[in-house]
Amino acid sequence: MSNYKDFYDQNPDENEYLSLLKYIRTTDDDEDEIYGKIEEQIDIANFFDNQITYFYGANGDWLENNVKFWKMDTNTPDPNAPYGQDGKWRWMLVDLDSSFINYERNMISLTALEREYTLVIHTLIKNPDYRIQFINRFADLLNTAFLPSRVITEIDNMEGTIEPDMEKHINRWGTMRNDIDKWHANVEFLRQFAQKRPDFVRAHIIEEFNLNGTMALNIKVDPNLGHVKINTIEIKRDTPGVENPSNWTGIYFKNIPITLTALPKPGYRFSHWEGVNSFIAKNENIKIFPNSDMEITAIFEEIDTN
């Protein structure tokens, strides 16, 4: 989909995606059936990641255009098929030229709009479980892939790769006021965006969903024995943005449930958690409802083979 008007002017009875939107708008089914239908036809994790990326980047040229999604051409979605072959709709990132400009821009408010191009996110966010999934996935990404230090490192690397050709580019096309310092200033603004954007996004999430603020979650573990998964991210060195898996801190939202899973390495087993209620301390998978900063340690032990 590239042209908003042309796409939504199609007959929904002849377009599978528009048929789904029509169903969402007009059905008398109960909520379980509605969300079941959405789950059947949409890869919700992919959809949330797509929306979150545009929200984080504050893309100003999106939704009414620059939206592309796809599915395998099948009339019978198969949840057991390999990824991408199950007949579910998935979204792509396209044309991010208007991102990383206004770090104060509130994109989260779009979830409150009940229009054609926001109907899916609006409908999902109305459901408490999906709203929590969205909020936690956003927090997970802000703590890892969108962590300022990680994004700035990517900007630095890209700047270093492109810089040798920039003077030739500027001379050829007369851009940047024929001054490479202007280009460097533009790149520096990208770094400012990366540094400042997370705080604004978190404030917008708090405002839109009437939350009680944020808290710091500190996870400690011996990475030689195992690691911890928080919601959708694994706290280990090969996860983007995780620099110290033995002593890691992320920012999450108060009273939004967080799932922690202890994952031992071969030859070890999970023993217990320190810093949580004793009733759940022995469970490998726990859910916490933090209302203040927390420090939690996952304890692993060697398996005795004797």
Instruction: Note down pLDDT in tens along the chain; length 306 residues.
Output: 445 667 888 988 889 999 999 999 999 999 999 999 999 999 999 999 999 999 999 999 999 889 999 999 887 778 889 999 999 999 999 999 999 999 999 999 999 999 989 999 999 999 999 999 999 999 999 999 999 999 999 999 999 999 999 999 999 999 988 999 999 999 999 999 999 999 999 999 999 999 999 999 999 999 999 999 999 999 999 999 999 999 999 999 999 999 999 999 999 999 999 999 999 999 999 999 999 999 999 999 999 876
At the second CATH level, the architecture of 214-302 is Sandwich (2.60)
The CA-to-CA distance between both ends of the chain, in Å, stands at 62
Round to whole Å and give the CA distance between 72 and 109. 32
Q: Which positions ≥6 away from 14 have C-beta within 8 Å? A: none
Which whole-number Å values give the CA distances from 295 to 227, 262, 264, 288, in the listed order?
15, 15, 19, 12
From the list 68, 55, 154, 137, the residue with the least C-alpha distance to 99 is: 55
Domain coordinates in residue numbering, the chain: 4-142, 148-208, 214-302
pTM here?
0.95
Q: If you search the block for the tokens 């929590």, which residue do you land on?
A: 132
